[in-house]
Amino acid sequence: MLLVLVCVAVLSGCSGSHHISVTGTRSSSHATPEGGKAPVAQHGHSCAVRVIGARILDQSGHVLYRDPGGFGTHPHLHQVRCSGPTIWVVFNNGAAMSQEAYVGVRSGDAGRTWRLVFAEPYFGVKAPHELDSYMGPWTLVGRLADFTGSCPACSPKKMVGLWVTRNLGRTFRSYPIRALGGFEPTRIRVHRSRVTIWGSRVLRGEPPEERVTVRVG
């Protein structure tokens, strides 16, 4: 069992600092089930919206929002998660120069209105927040959204990052995950105040998979 104490960097309008316990096990065991009383996120067609290309539409086909990072006819990949009236959509517009053209938007009223929350600024989209060079797996439980990211072009031991928001993306807390240096995030699960992240090896000499659990405040 690996135990590391990590200082939390507080970003985007928060102040002060906290300490978190990060435990890592070299294991490929199953993810901790999502828990708590908040509704567990649904995906894709279970939500109140549809995403086609760069457009978010309601069930009748009316356009609610357009991805500001759309580049010509480039095929748009996306992920949709919803929990109650909260909906998040993350667009992926490809990658270049060791950067990923991701854009994250959310609605807090079942899709009626939308807000641009984060993006990789290298591609010209000006958003309130930037997470990392590349987006990793993310999850949503109630109003709690957890995102991971990584920087493949950085030092091989560059740590994976975790970004947590409880207020629909207005502010984020950033948790550096040093125990995942040399790995890239592949899975994430939330159980109450614990966030478990799985990483896949990107450096020789490391085990095939690493699992780290972070207690978030």
Helices (H) and strands (E) in the chain, counts: 0, 18
- pLDDT above 50: residue 26: no
Strands laid side by side in the 49-52 sheet? 49-52, 55-58, 63-66
pLDDT of residue 156: 63
pLDDT of residue 131: 94
- pLDDT above 50: residue 13: no
d(CA 65, CA 85): 16
pLDDT tens digits, one per residue of 163-174: 999 999 999 999
50-70 mean pLDDT: 91
pLDDT over 70, % of the chain: 75
- pLDDT above 50: residue 141: yes
The DSSP line for 198-216 is EEEE-STTS-SEEEEEEE-
How many structural domains does the chain have?
A: 1
- pLDDT above 50: residue 1: no
- pLDDT above 70: residue 90: yes
The residue segments making up the domain with residue 161 are 2-215
42 versus 204: the higher-pLDDT residue is 204
155 versus 180: the higher-pLDDT residue is 180
User: Which helix (H) or strand (E) covers residue 19, if one does?
Assistant: strand 19-25
For 149, the token pair is 């990211």
